[in-house]
Amino acid sequence: MDQTIQSKYIPQQLLYFIAGRRCCQQFSCTFRTSEHSVLINAARALGLRSQLVLSHGQECVKVYRQTCNHYLEEPKSLTLAPSSVMSMFTLFARLSVGGKDDDCVANRWTIQAPSHYMSLPGLIQLDAKIRSSKRFTNALNNSRANEILDSINAHRVTVFDGNLSLDKSTLFPLIILKDFNSQNKNARIICIEEEEIVAIYNCERFAECLGENIGETVGIQLPLNNNISSGTQVVYTTAQYYLRTLFNKNSNNKLNKISHFVVNDVHLHAPYTDILLYELKQALSMEQNLRIILLSQAGDSKQFVNYFGEGSNFLIKTSNMFKLNISYLEDIQQSIATETIEKGPEVYKNQRQMFRNKNQRNIQLDKCLQAYEEIGTDVAIRPLLYAINYELVPVDYQHSVTGKTALYISAQLGKVHHLRLLLFMGANPNIVNECHENAITIAAANGHNECLDILNNFCLHGYVAKNAKPQFVDFDIIVDLIYLIYAKRRFSPGNILIILPTYYHLVKLNYMLLSNFLTGNLQEFSILLLHKDMDKEYLHSLTKSQTKTCKIVLATDIVESLPIPITFQYLIDTACQMKPIYDGISNSTGERYEWAAKDSLLRRQLLLDNAFSEKYCFRLMSREIFETLNEFSQPPMQTMQLDKICLTVKLLCPTVCISEYLAYTIAPPPPLSIHQTVAFLKKIEVLEESEAATLLGCRLIDLPVSCQLGRTLVFGILLQCLDPILTIVSSLCTADPLSLPFSEDIDSKWNKFTIYIQNCIKEERARLAEGHLSDHIIFVHIFQEWQANFQNENLSLCLTDEYDFVRNGLMEQVNLKRIKIINSLRASHLIHSNGQLCFQSINMQSKNWPMVKAALTAGMYPDICAVDQKRNTLHSCQSANVYLHSNSIFRKFLEPFQTTAHWLVCTKQKNIIRYATAVSPLAVAIFSGSENLSYSHSAEVLSPAKTDVNFFIDEWIWLIVSKFDFDLVMKIRQEFFKAYQYFLRYCCALDKWRNDARDPLKVLFFETLTKILEIEDDAAGFLHCSSFGLRPTFKLPYHYLQRINSHFTWQQTTCDSNNMHRKPAHP
C-alpha cells in the first residue's frame, strides 16, 4: 500500500467519520484483502472498533463508534441438530431425483398492479323524483341554491365553506342533479368521502331522499360494497378507493366520463384526499368541462383556490339564534364543588385499601424507600429513579405502611437536588402520609428552609395537574358532569355528545356509565357509539334511536364529518386527540396525545343544535391552555407513516419519483420522512432499488394494514398458519387490553391503585404466555379465550368488572379487523374460496407454534434483535439503544434483562420494544434478510482448519456456521423463496390452485421445514406449545357493546310500530 494512503488518506477518512453523525460506516473495497489490517489498526488507534463484513460478495471493513449497538463482539453461532441434518439430507435427495427446477429468480416478469376499474356504463335518461323531505326541501328551496349553482357553472373549481349542519355532501349533488334533470341532461357525479362508513351513510340518505334503492340513481363503490347500474348518476366512494381505480390507466383519459367531483372535508387534509386533489389538478388541463366542488369546514378556503390556481370561494354562514355557554376545566371543577357532587364512581369505594395487599413489587419498592430514608445518598435514590423511568412506577408511590413518598423523604432529609429532580418528574408535594403530613409540613418542621422555599414556589407556579395533560382523560369528571346535567335543576334534560380521543377511551367510559347507572347514580339513558371502525349496525342503531329517550353518544373525531339526526344540547369535549407519529430512524410508528387545534374545537361546538335556547360546551382543558393552541390542525401526512402512501404514488405514476410527486401535493410531507420510508420499503422488498414496485408491493396495496404487517400475512399464508398470524396482526392494529397503565393514565385519587393494577396485568400476561418467551402469543390466547366464551353465539349479558368489559370491547374490534383483512385477502386473490389456497388449507399448520414464529420472523424483518448475553443488551437494525417495555413478558420488576434466547422478533416504538418473541437461530438464518441472498454473502473464518464460514445476512445479523451446515441452510432458503416468488406471481391464477392435490415435492419440502423448525426449537430450549392453534369461527357476536348497552339501558332502535319499550334489567 502506498505510504501516503496509509499515513494520511485513511486517518483523514476516519476523522471525517468521527466528526459526522453516523454510528458506523462501511469503507469501500479499495484495498487488498491482506491490507485490511492497516485500516483496522488505524481505527483502533482512534478508539474505534471494526469488523470485516461482506458487501456484494467482497470483504470490506466496517468501522463502529464505541456506543454503536450494531457492533457484535462476536457472531452468533448456528449449529444444526443431527436429526435436522438428516431430515435435510433426505429432502434434498428426493428433490434431486424428483422434480424440475423452476428458477423464478432468474425469470423476471412484468409487474403490474391488479386493476380495479370503476365501472361507469353508458347512462340511461332517468327522471329522479325527490321525495318530499322537510330537510331536503328546505335545502333545495334555499335562497342561495341558485347562487350556489351559478358559482359551480361559472368556475371549474369552487370551494364551499360551511359547517356540518348544512349537510353539504348530500345537498350539493342534489342541487346539481336537479339542475341536470331540468335540462334533460345526464350528470356523472363522484362524491368523495374520507371514511367508508361516511360514504355508506351519505349514500343511504341520498337514496332515501330520492325514494329509490341504492344502485339506481345513486350508487356506491367501495372495496367490498359495489352497487351501481347503467342509470347511476351519483357515486359515493372514498379517495383511497377511487385512486385505486386509476392504477394502470392512461393519464390522458383517467377522468373523461366524469362531469363533477364533490370532495368532502378537504380541510382535514386526509392523505389520500390530498393526493386526489393533485390528480384533479392535473386532470383540469385535459378535461375542460370538469367541475370540482370542494367542501370545507375550516374557514380558510383560499389555500385550495391558490393551489389550483383558479376558482372561487363561497362562504355559507348559519345564524346562531342563542348564545353558547362554554365552560373550561376550572369552571367545571368549581361547579362540581359547588353542587357537592361526590367525585369518583361508587363501584370503587369498597376497594380503597386494595393497594395495601402484599406483593413482590410493593415489598421491593417499600425497601427502596426505606433504604433511601436511612442512607439518603445519590446511590440510594437511584433504584427509585430507575423504577419510575423504566418500570412505570408512579413518582408519587406511597410506602405501604407509612404512606411516605420519595418527595416527602427528600424534604425530610433536606436533599435539595433530589427534591428538584422529583418535582421535575411530576411529584405532588401535597400528598399526605399516615400522620397527615406532606412534604411542605415536614420541611418546615425540620427547618429545611431552602426545601420549603422550593416547595412553596412550586405549588404557586410549577405544579402541573394530570388533568392539564392531553394524554390524561378524566373519566370521573365526565361522570360528575353527566350527573350534574341530569340530576340538578339548573340544567334541562337533553342529549349529550361526548368526544373522546380513541376507541379504547370510548369503551372504558361506556363501562363507567353503565356501572354508575346500575348503582343508581345516574338516571335512565341510552348509550350510543360512534367511531370510524364501527360496523353498519352501530350506525343504524344510532340513526333509528328513539327520539324521546335521553341519549349519550360516545364518539371519536369522526363525528365532525357525520351529520347524524340527533339534536345535542350538551357537549363534553376532552379536547385531545391521538396522533400517530412516524419515526424514520427506527421505522416505527408511535402514538402521541396532544390538544386539538382551535379549528377542530370550533367545529365540535357547532355540532350543538341552534334550536336550544340554552346549550353548553364543557371543555376538559384550562382556559390558559386554550389560548395557546394552534389555530389550524397539522395535516396528517406530515407526521404519519407513509409506506402505503408511497406505494400508492408509485403504482399511480410509475415513472415519477415518489418524493417529487408528493412535493406537489397541497400539504407535502417532510422530504426526510419520504426518504426514510422509501429506504424501508426497499429493505423489505416492496420497492426495488429503482423505486419500481415489486410484485409483493402490488399484492399488498389492497390490504388494510401497513406493508410490514401485510408482508407478515403473506408469509402466514405461505407457511399455512394464517389464523394465528391474522390474530396477531389484527391485535397489533388495536389497543392492547393488557397494556400497563402509565401514572398519567390514572386519576390522582386512584394513584394508590397503580401498583396493584400493574401487578394484576403482569400476572394475567404471565398466565396467558404459559411460560413461552413470547408477547405475541398472548394476543392469540386472549382472543381464543374470548371466542370460547361466545360459543354458539350465546352472549352473557352481565356486567362483571372493568377489565372484562374493556377486553370484550377491544376483542370485538380485533374480530372486525380480522374479518376485514380476510375479505381484502380474498379480493386480492391471496386466499381463495376453495382449492389449495382455501382457508382450511392455509391453516394446516396453525397449531404449530414454531411455524408461526417463522412467519413472524420473515414478515417482521428487519425488526429482529440480537441478544448480547454478556452485556444483557440488544442489537437492532437502526436504534443505537434498544429497551424492552415494562409490558413485555421478558421484563422482571427491578431485575436486569436476561434470557437464554439469542434472537428476538419484535414490535417497536422508536427505541422501545413493546412486544417480542424468542426465535431459533435457524429461523433467523432461513427467513430473515433479502430473498436474493446467495452464497456470496459468506466468507471463510480465518482459522487453521477453515471449516466454518461467516454468514452475513445483514449488518447486525451475523452467524458463524460450519460449511456443511451453511450449504444445507442456503439450499433450504433458496427452495423456500422459490415457493414464495411462485406464490406471489401466480396467486391470481385460480386454475393453478383449484386442484386440491398438491405437488408431492412441495408437500415434502414444507413437511421437512416444519419438522426441522420443531427440532431446532427443542434444541434451543423453547417450550412445546400444546394449547395453541384453536381455530376461531367467524360467527362471533361482534355487536357486543350494542347488545349490552341496549340490555341495560333504554332500547335503542325504534320498532316498526313505533312502540317504545324497555328490556327488563339484568338481575
One domain for residues 436 and 368: yes
Q: What is the pLDDT of residue 667?
A: 94
One domain for residues 153 and 259: yes
One domain for residues 336 and 394: no
d(CA 734, CA 817): 9
Q: Where are the alpha helices (DSSP H) in 569-622?
A: 598-605
Q: What is the pLDDT of residue 347?
A: 38
Indicate the pLDDT class of residue 408, thresholds 50, 70 and 90: very high
Instruction: Please state the rounded mean pLDDT for residues 779-805.
Output: 76
One domain for residues 435 and 538: no
Beta bridge partners of 883: 912
Q: What is the pLDDT of residue 465?
A: 55
Q: What is the pLDDT of residue 524?
A: 72
29-33, 528-532, 663-667: least confident range: 29-33
* Sign of the C-alpha dihedral computed for residues 1049, 1055, 1061 and 1065 taken in this order: negative
139-153, 528-542, 717-731, 757-771: least confident range: 139-153
Instruction: Please state the rounded mean pLDDT for residues 388-411.
Output: 86
Decide if 930 is inside a domain: yes
CATH number for position 521: 3.40.50.300
Percent of the chain with pLDDT over 70: 83
Q: What are the pLDDT digits (tens) for 965-1023?
A: 999 999 999 999 999 999 999 998 888 888 877 788 889 999 999 999 999 999 998 98
Q: What is the pLDDT of residue 109?
A: 46
Decide if 74 is inside a domain: no
Using the predicted structure, report yes or no on whether residue 101 has a pLDDT greater than 60. Answer: no
Q: What is the pLDDT of residue 278?
A: 95
Q: What is the pLDDT of residue 493?
A: 84
Residue ranges of E strands in 310-402: 312-315, 324-327
Q: What is the pLDDT of residue 106?
A: 41
One domain for residues 329 and 400: no
Decide if 806 is inside a domain: no
How many Cα atoms sit within 13 Å of 433 on the Cβ side?
20
CATH number for position 440: 1.25.40.20
Q: What is the pLDDT of residue 1056?
A: 37
Q: What is the pLDDT of residue 722?
A: 94
The residue among 74 and 906 whose pLDDT is bigger is 906
448-452, 737-741, 750-754: least confident range: 750-754
The CA–CA distances, whole Å, from 40 to 21, 50, 215, 949 equal 20, 6, 72, 20
The CA–CA distances, whole Å, from 352 to 444, 753, 762 equal 30, 8, 21
The owner of cell 374493556 is 806
Beta bridge partners of 326: 617
DSSP 640: S
Choose one of 608, 637, 666: the last residue of a domain. Answer: 637
CB crowding 1015-1046: b at 16 or more within 10 Å, else e: bbbebbebeebeebbbebeeebbbbbbbebbb
The residue among 400 and 749 whose pLDDT is bigger is 400
Q: Beta-carbon neighbour count of residue 208 at 10 Å? A: 16
Number of domains in the chain: 5
* DSSP 3-state of 400: coil
* Sign of the C-alpha dihedral computed for residues 755, 760, 765 and 766 taken in this order: positive
DSSP 895: S
Q: What is the pLDDT of residue 466?
A: 53
CATH number for position 62: 3.30.1370.50
Using the predicted structure, report yes or no on whether residue 129 has a pLDDT greater than 70. Answer: no
The closest alpha carbon to 295, from 222, 239, 339, belongs to: 239
DSSP 944: S
d(CA 774, CA 759): 19
One domain for residues 409 and 481: no
What's the domain range around 186? 134-315
73-82, 467-476, 844-853, 909-918: least confident range: 467-476
One domain for residues 436 and 563: no
The model scores a pTM over 0.85: yes
Using the predicted structure, report yes or no on whether residue 188 has a pLDDT greater than 70. Answer: yes
Give φ, ψ of 16 to 5 degrees.
Answer: -60, -40
Decide if 475 is inside a domain: yes
Decide if 619 is inside a domain: yes
**Cell numbers at 83, concatenated:** 436429526
Which residues neighbour 3 within 8 Å (Cβ) at sequence distance 6 or greater? none
Beta bridge partners of 236: 191, 220
Indicate the pLDDT class of residue 605, thresholds 50, 70 and 90: very high
Choose one of 68, 99, 115: the last residue of a domain. Answer: 68
One domain for residues 399 and 298: no
One domain for residues 230 and 333: no
The residue among 774 and 345 whose pLDDT is bigger is 774
One domain for residues 441 and 486: no
The CA–CA distances, whole Å, from 820 to 140, 564, 826, 1012 equal 38, 25, 10, 34
The CA–CA distances, whole Å, from 801 to 386, 807, 808, 902 equal 32, 10, 11, 40
| Ranges 219-223, 320-324, 642-646, 861-865, most confident | 642-646
Indicate the pLDDT class of residue 38, thresholds 50, 70 and 90: confident
Decide if 443 is inside a domain: yes
- Helix (H) and strand (E) counts in the chain: 37, 28
Using the predicted structure, report yes or no on whether residue 304 has a pLDDT greater than 90. Answer: yes
Percent of the chain with pLDDT over 90: 38
Q: What are the pLDDT digits (tens) for 331-357?
A: 888 888 777 665 444 433 333 344 445
- Asked if 755 contacts 355 with a C-beta cutoff of 8 angstroms, the reply is yes
Using the predicted structure, report yes or no on whether residue 721 has a pLDDT greater than 80. Answer: yes
End-to-end CA distance of the chain: 90
Q: What are the pLDDT digits (tens) for 469-487?
A: 788 888 888 988 988 888 7
How many Cα atoms sit within 13 Å of 193 on the Cβ side?
25
One domain for residues 441 and 412: yes
d(CA 231, CA 208): 17
Using the predicted structure, report yes or no on whether residue 140 has a pLDDT greater than 80. Answer: no
Using the predicted structure, report yes or no on whether residue 895 has a pLDDT greater than 80. Answer: no
- Asked if 296 contacts 310 with a C-beta cutoff of 8 angstroms, the reply is no
Decide if 771 is inside a domain: no
Using the predicted structure, report yes or no on whether residue 122 has a pLDDT greater than 90. Answer: no
Decide if 552 is inside a domain: yes
Rounded to the nearest integer, the mean pLDDT of the chain is: 82
One domain for residues 383 and 335: no
Choose one of 599, 621, 637: the last residue of a domain. Answer: 637
Q: What is the pLDDT of residue 634?
A: 92
d(CA 600, CA 632): 8
Q: Where are the alpha helices (DSSP H) in 948-1039?
A: 963-986, 1000-1019
Q: What is the pLDDT of residue 27?
A: 79
Q: What is the pLDDT of residue 928?
A: 92
* Sign of the C-alpha dihedral computed for residues 1018, 1020, 1021 and 1023 taken in this order: negative
* DSSP 3-state of 877: coil
d(CA 576, CA 448): 40
